[in-house]
Amino acid sequence: MPVNGRTELYGIMGHPVAHSLSPTMHNSAFAHLGMNRVYVPFPVEDVAAALNGFRALGVRGVSVTIPHKQAVIEYLDEIDPVAEKIGAVNTLLINEGQIKGFNTDWLGANRALEQELPLAGKKVLLLGAGGSARAIGFGLLEAGAEVIIASRTQSSGEALATTLNCSWQPLAEAAAISSDALVNATSVGMGAQIDASPIAVQALSNFPVVMDIVYAPLETRLLREARGAGCKGIDGLAMLLFQGVAQFELWTGVNAPVALMREKLLAGLANK
C-alpha cells in the first residue's frame, strides 16, 4: 500500500537499531491486512526529545529496544502496572499526544512457552538475572507458575529472586534441579559463546520443555542437545515473534497474522 496523507506511522527506537527485524515483521502484517500504516526504525540517543517528537508528529506506536527500556519510563504519561513492576517498557501506545508504556516481552515469553506447556501451577527454572530474565520471571508469576532463578553472579541473582519472591541457586548447581521447563535468559549460545551451553547435557532430561531466548543462531547448542535428550524445544524466535504479535494487537485491536510474521522473521534472519 502506498504511503500517503492518511498513513499512520509506527516504529522502533533504539541505538543501534538498523539491525532490527521488527520493521519487516510489522510492515508485512500491516500490508497483509490492508492497513495504511508503516513501521520504521528510529535511531535514538536523546529519549526525551524523541518522545516529544513522537507526540508532535502524531506517531501512533513505538517499540522500545536497547538501551532505552528503562530510560523511557520517566517521560511517559502512563505506564501499565505489569510494566511498572518489571521496571522496563518495550512498547509505546500514543493517543492524542498521551504516551502509555507497556511491556510485551513477558507476554511473548509466556505465549512461546504455552505452545508446549500450560504455565499455571508449573515449576520453571530460569537461567539469568538480567533484564530479559526479570521480564520473563514476572510474566511467569503472572501466569501462576513457580520460578527458580539460577545465575552465575550471586548478588544479581539473589536480588532478582528477592524481587520475584522466589528461590535462587548458583548456575553451577542448576543441573541438580528438576522442573517442568527450563528457560535460558542468558547470552550463552550466541556471539563469542556460540559453542557453549549454560547447562550440562546430562541434566537436560530433568526438563521436559526447554526454551532458549537466543535466536541467532536459531538452533543453539542448548536446543540441539535438549531435542537430542527428548525435550520439547522452543527457539528464541518464538519470544521475539509473540512479543511483536502482542504489540501489533495492542496497536491495532485486531488479531495479528502470526504465521506470516514468523515467516518474515525467519527470512530476515536468513538474510543477516
Q: Residues 85-117: pLDDT tens digits?
A: 999 999 999 999 999 999 999 999 999 999 999
Model confidence at 2: pLDDT above 90: no
Pairing of strands 123-127, 91-95: unpaired
Angle between helices 236-252 and 22-32 (to 10 degrees): 50
Please return the burial class of 269, using the count of CB atoms within 10 Å of its CB with bins 0-12, 13-18 and 19+.
middle
Do 135 and 110 form a contact (C-beta atoms < 8 A)? Answer: no
Q: What is the mean pLDDT of residues 221-232?
A: 98
Same domain, 264 and 228: no
Identify whether 99 is part of a domain.
yes
Model confidence at 224: pLDDT above 90: yes
Q: What is the CATH number of the domain that holds 143?
A: 3.40.50.720
Identify whether 3 is part of a domain.
no
Same domain, 35 and 62: yes
In whole angstroms, what is the distance from residue 238 CA to residue 25 CA? 13
Angle at 11 between CA 9 and CA 15, to 5 degrees: 145
The confidence band for 1, taking pLDDT boundaries of 50, 70 and 90, is confident
Q: What is the mean pLDDT of residues 240-261?
A: 98
Same domain, 74 and 149: no
Model confidence at 142: pLDDT above 80: yes
Same domain, 28 and 41: yes
The confidence band for 229, taking pLDDT boundaries of 50, 70 and 90, is very high
Domain that holds residue 98: 8-103+238-270
Same domain, 126 and 202: yes
Same domain, 87 and 178: no
Identify whether 123 is part of a domain.
yes
Q: What is the mean pLDDT of residues 29-53?
A: 98
- What's the pLDDT at 143? 97
In whole angstroms, what is the distance from residue 149 CA to residue 182 CA? 10
- What's the pLDDT at 25? 98
Q: Residues 156-174: pLDDT tens digits?
A: 999 999 999 999 999 999 9
Q: Write down the catalytic residue from 69, 85, 122, 264.
A: 69
Q: What is the CATH number of the domain that holds 56?
A: 3.40.50.10860
Model confidence at 204: pLDDT above 90: yes
85 catalytic per annotation: no
Model confidence at 272: pLDDT above 80: no
Alpha-carbon 210 to chain mean position: 16
The confidence band for 188, taking pLDDT boundaries of 50, 70 and 90, is very high
